[in-house]
């Protein structure tokens, strides 16, 4: 009996550690965090949000107003930049977003949940300390954005919306250039021209990832050519962002210059991680993926033009003969 007790102790200790790791990996996460607004008006709250970010040690990269009464601030800090270089293509996680949205009866402040997005982008850590800093700075209320769907950190590391749809490691490769600088310079040029209704929200220069590839992340506002352009942020959000709290911090979309290539996360992944519970066919609010079926291809077209992959008068589908 003494022998059995002695040998069981280290075995049980190992099992407890493994169970602890499993529980941590299976912690439920949601894409957004509802924060406490500080101010009495829309403009006051935007200003106070800027001040709270900088006071908490974050650097503001850019701001974006995709439509009336919606403002998004993109930010980073040393930990986000450093962690972005510690995994393959981790550059997507180098920046976070906070949105101020005015509805009829309230003004909502919500930011992207670091633990959710870091796992969605398969980063080296879950950015818990960044989560803690934001929660303290903004008096966080609750996470939201998955409806009745329950997703864990481990679920997000291998997430895709449904069968045959893209994962994180299935990005759209838009164009290859002679060098990283050439790719960055071309994007800067096209964004400065407002190609296809696009605008530059921010640029974040990062180091090399674990594959030794240099990364530069761009945030791109998609204004569209006209009101019926289903690549536009307003077109898409008006059809699927109908619940409360709003998912405004979903925007903007990203371009990643990865080595000497330009890529973007495909819409069926990038949109789905902001609305993982959105039904395909029908809902009480009318918000469905079917209502924006044209969006993934249209977003790819718009970002391809910014990257210089196609002529301004030509879509990538026309060029390649496919979606």
Domain count, the chain: 1
CATH of the domain at 182: 3.30.310.70
β-strand pairing of 70-76 with 96-102:
antiparallel
Its domain, for residue 64, covers 32-320
Percent of the chain with pLDDT over 70: 88
Residue of 323, 243, 308 whose CA lies nearest to 279: 243
What Cα–Cα distance (Å) separates residue 260 from each residue in 21, 181, 210, 263? 38, 8, 16, 10
Angle at 77 between CA 22 and CA 271, to 5 degrees: 60
Per-residue pLDDT reduced to its tens digit, 38-68: 999 999 999 999 999 999 999 999 999 999 9
Q: Look up the pTM and report it.
A: 0.89
The answer to the question of residue 97 being in a domain is yes
What is the phi/psi pair of residue 104, to 5°?
-60, -45
- Which residues of the chain carry a pLDDT beneath 50? 1-6, 8-9, 11, 14, 16-24, 313-323
Distance CA 136, CA 132 (A): 6
**Peptide bond just before 252 cis, omega within 30 deg:** yes
Query: CA torsion, points 178, 183, 188, 194, in degrees to nearest 10?
Result: 100
The answer to the question of residue 108 being in a domain is yes
Cβ atoms < 10 Å from Cβ of 320: 11
The answer to the question of residue 166 being in a domain is yes
The answer to the question of residue 246 being in a domain is yes
Per-residue pLDDT reduced to its tens digit, 36-45: 999 999 999 9
The answer to the question of residue 20 being in a domain is no
The answer to the question of residue 172 being in a domain is yes
- What is the DSSP secondary-structure string of 229-249? -TTSHHHHHHHH--SSS--GG
The answer to the question of residue 5 being in a domain is no
The answer to the question of residue 176 being in a domain is yes
What is the phi/psi pair of residue 4, to 5°?
-65, -40
Per-residue pLDDT reduced to its tens digit, 210-230: 999 999 999 999 999 988 899
Three-state secondary-structure class, residue 118: helix
């Amino acid at each position: 009996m003494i022998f059995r007790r002695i040998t069981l102790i280290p075995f049980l200790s190992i099992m407890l550690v493994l169970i602890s790791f499993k529980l941590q990996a299976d912690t439920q996460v949601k894409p957004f965090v509802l924060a406490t607004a500080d101010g009495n008006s829309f403009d006051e709250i935007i200003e106070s949000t800027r001040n709270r970010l900088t006071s908490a040690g974050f650097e503001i990269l850019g701001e974006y107003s995709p439509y009336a009464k919606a403002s998004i601030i993109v930010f980073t800090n040393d930990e986000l930049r450093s962690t972005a270089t510690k995994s393959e293509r981790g550059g997507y996680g180098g920046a976070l977003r906070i949105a101020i949205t005015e509805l009829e009866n309230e003004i909502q402040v919500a930011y992207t949940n670091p633990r959710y997005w870091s796992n969605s982008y398969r980063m080296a850590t879950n950015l818990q300390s960044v989560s803690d800093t934001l929660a303290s700075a903004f008096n966080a209320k609750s996470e939201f954005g998955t409806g009745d769907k329950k997703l864990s950190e481990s679920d997000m590391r291998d997430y895709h919306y449904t069968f045959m749809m893209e994962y994180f490691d299935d990005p759209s490769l838009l164009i290859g250039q002679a060098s990283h600088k050439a790719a960055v310079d071309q994007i800067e040029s096209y964004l400065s021209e407002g190609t296809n209704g696009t605008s530059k929200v921010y640029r974040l220069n990062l180091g090399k990832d674990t594959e030794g590839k240099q990364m530069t992340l761009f945030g791109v506002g998609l204004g569209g050519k006209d009101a019926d352009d289903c690549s536009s942020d307003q077109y898409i959000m008006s059809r699927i962002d109908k619940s409360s709290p709003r998912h405004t911090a979903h925007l903007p979309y990203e371009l990643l210059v990865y080595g000497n290539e330009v890529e973007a996360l495909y819409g069926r992944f990038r949109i789905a991680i902001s609305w993982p519970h959105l039904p395909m066919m029908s809902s009480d609010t009318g918000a469905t993926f079917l209502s924006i079926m044209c969006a993934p291809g249209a977003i790819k077209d718009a970002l391809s033009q910014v990257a210089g992959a196609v002529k301004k008068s030509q879509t990538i589908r026309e060029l390649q003969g496919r979606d």
